[in-house]
Structure 1
Amino acid sequence: MTTTEERLAPADLYRHGMRLLVDKDIDGWVALWDDNGVIEFPFAPRGFPRRVEGRAAIADYMADYPDHVDLQQVPYLEIHRTDNPETIVAEMRTTGRIVATDAPYEMSYIAVVTVKDGRITHYRDYWNPLGVPASVDEAKSSSTA
């Protein structure tokens, strides 16, 4: 991470991270994380992890994301600051396509993100598992079989 990125406020760091995901720069996105960062998925369905701990594990988890979801835009992103200046709440909608089927992809999210010393330390991702097309699950399952 560059010195400029280290000084980004949590909201700006989050926006930067979303640009990296749209650009399919997973390594760049993972570089925004603290070595001991944690990502949680409170509504994760069966077969998806509810918690991933550590930058290396997050890198493994995200490594094949662009192989399954071609994230193309974040047409809506609103960031709310909290009483804790290190924590933000992001509401967003993403669009793209499912790689395996070329079907459209659209998902709404709410994320609670904490940043310390210019790195993401905690990310709670409240995505809706009912919105995940079956083709994503099938594509992930077939690639690990």
Structure 2
Amino acid sequence: MTHREIFERYVYAGAITRNPGAVAELFTEDGVYEAPLVPGDHALPRVLEGREAIRAGVVAYHREPAFIGTVDAERSGLVLHETGDPDVFIAEVDAMLVGADGQSATVSLVQIFRVRDGRIAHLRDYFAPPGAPAS
């Protein structure tokens, strides 16, 4: 799979369909998900190791009230950056979130992916969850 295909599957499984099992299956068995900017008391732990922990973390995150809404892919922006390491790529995302009330907001984030054998071995996801206090 190309880096774009891996990224698109990740977005579809997580932000679009909100399928924790599908998100976890995109990772290697020993995969690691990190969210360094998430507040320490948030339902999503800053570090998740292994598919089961990743699945459980995504379930917890999707239960958060601030997460209610959908991603408008047409109005969202994406730039993928290749690196000198063929197993690493970076995604810059400006995701347009639309709430049930029709209000929209942009959430900007940077994700660093390390892949192995077509799966995500390590994802560092720099984002602040909607509703999180600014630091």
TM-score (norm 1): 0.73
Q: CA deviation at 1:97?
A: 4.4
Query: What is the CA deviation profile of residues 5-53 of structure 1, one whole-angstrom value per residue up to 9, with x for unaligned ones?
Result: xxx1223211221122212233222211111111112222221322111
Determine the structure 1 residue equivalent to 2:126. 126
Higher-helix-fraction structure: 1
Q: CA deviation at 1:64?
A: 4.2
Cα distance in 1 for partners of 2:121, 2:107 equals 24
Determine the structure 2 residue equivalent to 1:71. 70
- 8 A Cα contact 1:37 1:55, kept in partner: yes
Tell me which of 12, 18, 26 is aligned to 1:19.
Answer: 12
- Evaluate the alpha carbon distance shift between residue 102 and residue 62 of structure 1 in structure 2; reply closer, same or farther with a 3 A threshold: farther
Aligned-pair identity (%): 26
What is the alpha-carbon root mean square deviation over aligned residues? 2.5
Choose 1 or 2 for highest CA Rg.
1
Amino acid at match of 2:110: I
| Structure 2 segments unaligned to the other structure (5+ residues) | none
Cα distance in 2 for partners of 1:81, 1:45 equals 29
Q: CA deviation at 1:103?
A: 5.9
Kindly tell me the number of residue pairs found equivalent between the two proteins: 125
Cα distance in 2 for partners of 1:29, 1:102 equals 27
Cα distance in 1 for partners of 2:57, 2:99 equals 18
- Evaluate the alpha carbon distance shift between residue 61 and residue 32 of structure 1 in structure 2; reply closer, same or farther with a 3 A threshold: same
